[in-house]
Structure 1
Amino acid sequence: MNPQGERWTTDQVLALAPDEASRTAGGRLAGPEPWSRAGADGDAVWGLCEGSGRTPYHTVVDLTGPAYRCSCPSRKFPCKHALGLLLLWSGGDAVPAGAPPPWADEWLTGRRERAAGGAAAPPDGGTSARPTAGTEPAARRAARRAARIGAGAAELEQRLEDLLRTGLAAAEGAGYASWDETAARMVDAQAPGLASRVRELGALSAAGGDRPARLLEECALLHLLDQGFLAVERLPPPLAATVRARVGLTTDTAELLTGPEASPVRDRWLVLSQHDSDEGRLTARRIHLRGERTGRMALHLSYSGGGRPLEPTLPPGLLLDADLAFYPGARPLRAALGTHHAPPVQGPTPSGCGIDAALRAYGEALCDDPWLDSWPVVLADVTPTPGDGDSGWQLADADGESALPLDPRALARPGLWQLIAISGGRPVTVFGTCGHRGFLPLTTWDPEPVSL
């Protein structure tokens, strides 16, 4: 499983996370600050992690399993400490080579002796009989997690009913605390997607603007997601896949690319944008592509931590002859990058559409995925223009008949002024995402691509 001395990539480590909450928490522990006496050899990684108590948590990972042991009370495998330790190790030289300390060596030796004798090694090295990904049938694990998420969704439905019974004004007065508690309950239910949406409700209840209307809209979407998951077995398969992904159930990338149901799409994919963003101690890279033959939009998402460079690097404008495997869903967008059939070459300026067609594309995608925030589009012959009063900037069609407001997030970014300078009052081609907040520009062409 682990060739001697070969470090895993950040994506390989994060693929082990049992849920999104663990991935985020592990990312916060990916730096050297909380760790002491960390070390690694060809088959194991170990270290002490400072926690809330006086005694640090003892964490060790057997890379040949992989299998994990940590003295923390978490019921998740791997826990956030094991993920953080693996991310630190994968990031470079922060974890030196050495021999395991006695507490780690005892557990590792016991595992290997039992493996040599044909007995199953316990997952955490202690007295717990809890099974892990390496010892429990996948179907049983999936069913158990689905039952937990179902219980969380049912509890959340009761919370929403109480909210509507008492009125939205009560939610506005409650602030963050009440919603944070509900979000924590969803994390315990292994439903990070539900937890994230609950936190959004907490932010809305404390925000300005038209709070009651926005709160009601988000409650309705959350109710729809709850009901969708509680009845997921009766949904059409593509919609069921969307619901599962929205609550936080992930698809294994290796299975997507090489599994028995793998169906990669080969095309010449034009890279439309590449943007990095900080997410705690991790860096996320989002690469948008469009197929030359199929016209399909795709999003490749990858993570890196510990100072390791992000991969792949695909600047806008490249044309890539490759296979993409799309994650299942009613409106597939995220994809994994498969086989490259030829070196990338410089591609042309992409063709685009007008404002009305962009809104129609987002509307059609929204019909398939009601929880979609935005959809990628290429706009052709649009001109950035100042709006009236407080409405901010807009992108206007060349004929002046239609205009699309810019996403408020764009107004605070230097890329907006770069776009205005490149345009100089002339129509330009712009790629970005079109959603309920407006249009977020990511790349323009002058005549070469420029990231915004």
Structure 2
Amino acid sequence: MSARWSADSVLSLAPDDSSRRAAATLARPVPWNGTGTAGDLVWGLCAGSGKNPYQVIVDLTGPAYKCSCPSRKFPCKHALGLLLLWSDGAVPDQADSPGYASAWLESRQERAERTTTPPSRTDAAASATAADSQGAAGQKAESAARRAAERAQRVTDGLADLREWLRDQVRAGLAGSGTPGGRAGAANLMATRMVDAQAPGVAGALRALAGTAGDGPGRLLAEYALLHLLIRAHERLDELPEGLAATVRSRVGYPVRTEEVLARPAVADRWLVLATRELTDAAVPGRRIWLRGRATNRWAMLLTFADPNGTWQDPATARLRPGTEIPADLHYYPGQPALRAVIGARHGDPVRAGQALPADDGAALLAQWAAALEQDPWATTWPVVVTGTPVPSGGGQRWQLADGTGLAFPLTDRDSLWTLLAVSGGRPVTVAGEWHPNGLVALTTWHGEQAVTL
């Protein structure tokens, strides 16, 4: 049986501050029924807005989570609330788990066994395989090359259709497509065509056009121009410098296997974990983690996604939390500027890091963003560590982060800024987050040497 965790350990698993607050309201017996724990399994039924209670299960060894609620956050507030109850000793020990919990645990174990147990082979079969390995390897390489060529042709054909669609939008005028309904409907139809053409990156850019509603035709025309630039770049893919060609392929949506990335040169450092961002809008929930090397001062972005069975594809990466650092080798994906990476060899466990690296001012932030756009014109996100004071604007309805030179950046995309305001107390604070064309998303701040997730 696992030792009870502290409440702080449970809350550190929360994807954001609103999840922590919601979990605290569920950490009481009233909404729960049929709770129990046996071995490394914790379960319970939580009353929700529907007729049937949510079935909530946690496997402490992952940890891994399963909840029947519709939330796309991972773990959801119900799983966190159940863990808070369990950590407080309010979940009774049971001899057996209920059917829904046992079935989920068994399915997880079966998948793990299929992944780790290789099929048995007779000596004769092994000898035959060894004899035919060279021919099979050649056939596999030829097949892979053929599939790659077929995909490239499908992408090329799809982008040609997109080019004609963009021309039609401009010829017809932006008035109709500038309305939210007209824009979303036409763009979503073309996004479906891009999925068929195996260009998921372009499909995502088209679906994002609906989010530009209210920004006027200038913003829409700028997005159309970037798509047209991507099409032209793809047409000249073989003529582009290696780094830019890799960026174009990434923006279109060509896949890169992890094995290929791990074969690239390693960058060893003590990597500070500065911020995390939950990705709940995509088809598969994910988590974006921002690191910065102490010695190299290089940024790195890690991505991990949730499996349908309630676990992270890379649990060790998903458990990284702001305010820690890890000695490790990172391998960067091809592209410019080099940003997305995967962890290779780990040279120790994550430890508390204390204060972040020295922060930039607003001018340095804008210079870094300009340099990033020079290398990747389609970039929409850039990591930042900046010092400033939260100040109100727009009659107190909006907030900005003002640095010591007078530059101020709008704070966007947060449910609440009360945590940041409380830590600041009207004084300058260091903030780590993401810079987007419409402003700064604050993800982490520091109270002394304590990282505070926003």
TM-score range, shorter chain: 0.5 to 0.7
Q: Distance in 1 between matches of 2:404 and 2:326?
A: 31
Q: Contact conserved, 1:330 with 1:368, CA < 8 A, in 2?
A: yes
Structure 2 partner of 1:64: none
Structure 1 partner of 2:234: 229
**Runs of 5+ unmatched residues, structure 1:** 1-90, 99-107, 109-113, 119-132
Structure 1 partner of 2:106: 93
Q: Contact conserved, 1:375 with 1:434, CA < 8 A, in 2?
A: yes
1:149 aligns with 2:180: no
CA separation of 1:156 and 1:92: change in aligned 2, threshold 3 A: farther
Q: Contact conserved, 1:317 with 1:346, CA < 8 A, in 2?
A: yes
Per-residue deviation, residues 351-381 of structure 1 (Å, max 9, x unmatched):
101111111111111111111112101112x
Q: Contact conserved, 2:288 with 2:303, CA < 8 A, in 1?
A: yes
TM superposition shift of 1:272: 0.5
TM superposition shift of 1:171: 2.2
Q: Distance in 2 between matches of 1:189 and 1:280?
A: 19
Q: Distance in 2 between matches of 1:406 and 1:217?
A: 23
Q: Distance in 2 between matches of 1:181 and 1:171?
A: 13
Q: 2:302 aligns with which of 300, 303, 323?
A: 300
What amino acid maps onto 1:378 in structure 2? V
Structure 2 partner of 1:352: 359
Structure 1 partner of 2:256: 251
1:361 aligns with 2:354: no
TM superposition shift of 1:176: 2.8
Q: Distance in 1 between matches of 2:325 and 2:187?
A: 45
Q: Distance in 2 between matches of 1:151 and 1:251?
A: 21
TM superposition shift of 1:393: 0.6
Q: Contact conserved, 1:405 with 1:439, CA < 8 A, in 2?
A: yes
Q: Distance in 1 between matches of 2:396 and 2:380?
A: 23
Q: Contact conserved, 1:92 with 1:308, CA < 8 A, in 2?
A: no
CA separation of 1:95 and 1:393: change in aligned 2, threshold 3 A: closer
Structure 1 partner of 2:247: 242
1:185 aligns with 2:198: no
Structure 2 partner of 1:219: 224
TM-score by length of 1: 0.66
CA separation of 1:395 and 1:267: change in aligned 2, threshold 3 A: same
1:372 aligns with 2:369: no
TM superposition shift of 1:301: 0.5
TM superposition shift of 1:325: 0.4
Structure 2 partner of 1:393: 399
TM superposition shift of 1:345: 2.8
**Runs of 5+ unmatched residues, structure 2:** 1-103, 112-118, 120-124, 130-138
Q: Distance in 1 between matches of 2:327 and 2:437?
A: 33
CA separation of 1:203 and 1:315: change in aligned 2, threshold 3 A: closer
Q: Which is further off, 248-257 or 307-316?
A: 307-316
Q: Which is further off, 308-317 or 297-306?
A: 308-317
Q: Aligned to 2:106, what secondary structure does the other structure show?
A: coil
1:199 aligns with 2:212: no
Q: Contact conserved, 1:428 with 1:444, CA < 8 A, in 2?
A: yes
Q: For 1:413-432, what aligned pairs fall within 5 Å after superposition? A: 413-414=415-416, 416-432=417-433
Q: Distance in 2 between matches of 1:281 and 1:372?
A: 21
Q: Distance in 2 between matches of 1:210 and 1:431?
A: 27
TM superposition shift of 1:175: 4.0
Q: Contact conserved, 1:384 with 1:394, CA < 8 A, in 2?
A: yes
Structure 2 partner of 1:101: none
TM superposition shift of 1:224: 0.6
Q: Distance in 2 between matches of 1:159 and 1:152?
A: 11
TM superposition shift of 1:178: 2.4
Q: Distance in 1 between matches of 2:258 and 2:321?
A: 23
Q: Distance in 1 between matches of 2:284 and 2:173?
A: 39
Q: Aligned to 2:419, what secondary structure does the other structure show?
A: helix
Q: Distance in 1 between matches of 2:233 and 2:208?
A: 19
CA separation of 1:152 and 1:403: change in aligned 2, threshold 3 A: same
TM superposition shift of 1:230: 1.2
What amino acid maps onto 2:227 in structure 1? L
Q: Contact conserved, 1:148 with 1:190, CA < 8 A, in 2?
A: yes
Q: Contact conserved, 2:320 with 2:350, CA < 8 A, in 1?
A: no
Q: Distance in 2 between matches of 1:182 and 1:167?
A: 17
1:286 aligns with 2:288: yes
Structure 2 partner of 1:434: 435
Q: Distance in 1 between matches of 2:409 and 2:323?
A: 25
Per-residue deviation, residues 35-70 of structure 1 (Å, max 9, x unmatched):
xxxxxxxxxxxxxxxxxxxxxxxxxxxxxxxxxxxx
Q: Distance in 2 between matches of 1:252 and 1:97?
A: 26
Structure 1 partner of 2:177: 171
What amino acid maps onto 2:337 in structure 1? R
Structure 1 partner of 2:452: 450
Structure 2 partner of 1:325: 331
Q: Distance in 2 between matches of 1:95 and 1:314?
A: 23
Question: RMSD of aligned C-alpha atoms?
Answer: 2.7
1:137 aligns with 2:140: no
TM superposition shift of 1:170: 3.3
Q: Distance in 1 between matches of 2:282 and 2:105?
A: 18
Q: Distance in 2 between matches of 1:231 and 1:385?
A: 47
TM superposition shift of 1:116: 10
Q: Aligned to 1:429, what secondary structure does the other structure show?
A: strand
Structure 2 partner of 1:341: 347
Q: Distance in 1 between matches of 2:184 and 2:142?
A: 38
Q: Distance in 2 between matches of 1:117 and 1:337?
A: 37
